Amino acid sequence: MSTEAEFLANYDAGDFERPSVAVDLALLSVFDDAVHAVLYQRDRHPAAGRWALPGTFVGIQESLDATATRILRERAKIEGVYLEQLYSFGGLGRDPRTRVITVAYYALVDRARCPDLGFHRLDIPWPGETGGPVDALDAQGAPLPLAFDHADILGMAIKRIRGKLDYTPIGFQLLPERFTLRALQTVHETILARPLNKDSFRRRMLASAQLEATGEREDSARHRPAELYRFARRSAV
């Protein structure tokens, strides 16, 4: 067996046991002063009745990114949104059926783009980027029992975007194409769960050169209308 081609022709993948690999998606949006995630109530075992992130097994000829994109397309009917790999969860007792390793992704969407999805309010019990599990609440504010380790996945997603927000304008992804600075600040404040200084927030955002004034103004409430901005892709100098 000398060449790699010969090696591969004779390669026997063997019959050692392999884990199943899935992708679970934390599909997040921000509205009503809270971070929300899409959850589905499971109608079959295991964890029947509990609430779960949209997920699916990875096809044998499908990349991880493609699997995450497929969840977005098939379950949420959207594409072109912010999507990033989060973390892989491979504990032994995650799924009582069999060994399942999940590669978690998270996506950020403007809720107006997908009004039919079942978003549920998240209750984040820790400050800053402390981390820890995050539960979801029903419309009455009662905790929804989550399936598997999905509270940990949601917690990791919140921790990640809180960290990113400090140096990345990730909040754009949660708003429509045109938005006011006030709306952007509200998104940041909701995710970080703390008030931000209005003046320095404005200055930072405008100084970042990632915002582009449209010249248009919001069709206002009962006060002076704010200018609408748009995300400016980092121009190639």
Partner DNA sequence: ATAATAGTGTCTCTAAGACATTATATT
Partner DNA sequence: AATATAATGTCTTAGAGACACTATTAT
Comparison of 222 and 233: residue with beta carbon closer to DNA: 222
Give the binding site for DNA (CB under 7 A). Answer: 180-182, 196-197, 199-204, 207, 217, 220-227
Q: In the complex, what is the shortest distance from the CB of residue 72 to DNA, in angstroms, rounded to a whole number?
A: 32
Q: In the complex, what is the shortest distance from the CB of residue 121 to a second copy, in angstroms, rounded to a whole number?
A: 27
* The one among 31, 41, 56, 65 contacting a second copy by CB under 8 A: 65
Nearest to 54 by CA among 81, 74, 80: 74
Burial of 151 (0-12, 13-18, 19+ CB in 10 A): buried
| Site membership for a second copy, residue 16 (CB under 8 A) | yes
Longest C-alpha distance within the chain, in Å?
Answer: 80
Query: How, if at all, do strands 100-108 and 20-31 pair?
Result: parallel
Both tokens assigned to 25: 């998606």
Nearest to 192 by CA among 232, 217, 214, 159: 159
**CA pair distance 213, 231, nearest whole angstrom:** 9
Nearest to 158 by CA among 118, 128, 116, 197: 128
* The one among 34, 78, 81, 101 contacting a second copy by CB under 8 A: 101
**CA pair distance 142, 234, nearest whole angstrom:** 42
193: partner contacted, choices a second copy, DNA, none (Cβ within 5-8 A by kind) = none
Size of the site for a second copy (CB under 8 A): 38
**CA pair distance 185, 196, nearest whole angstrom:** 7
Q: In the complex, what is the shortest distance from the CB of residue 1 to DNA, in angstroms, rounded to a whole number?
A: 55
Residues in the chain: 237
| Site membership for a second copy, residue 195 (CB under 8 A) | no
**CA pair distance 85, 167, nearest whole angstrom:** 18
Comparison of 50 and 178: residue with beta carbon closer to DNA: 178
* The one among 32, 48, 206, 208 contacting a second copy by CB under 8 A: 48
CB 43 within 8 A of CB 27: no
Nearest to 120 by CA among 204, 231, 56, 35: 35
77: partner contacted, choices a second copy, DNA, none (Cβ within 5-8 A by kind) = none
92: partner contacted, choices a second copy, DNA, none (Cβ within 5-8 A by kind) = a second copy
Q: In the complex, what is the shortest distance from the CB of residue 138 to a second copy, in angstroms, rounded to a whole number?
A: 22
* The one among 31, 78, 81, 99 contacting a second copy by CB under 8 A: 99
Q: In the complex, what is the shortest distance from the CB of residue 192 to DNA, in angstroms, rounded to a whole number?
A: 11
Q: Which residues bind a second copy (CB under 8 A)?
A: 1, 4, 7-8, 11, 13, 16-21, 44-48, 57-58, 60-65, 85, 87-92, 96-99, 101, 103
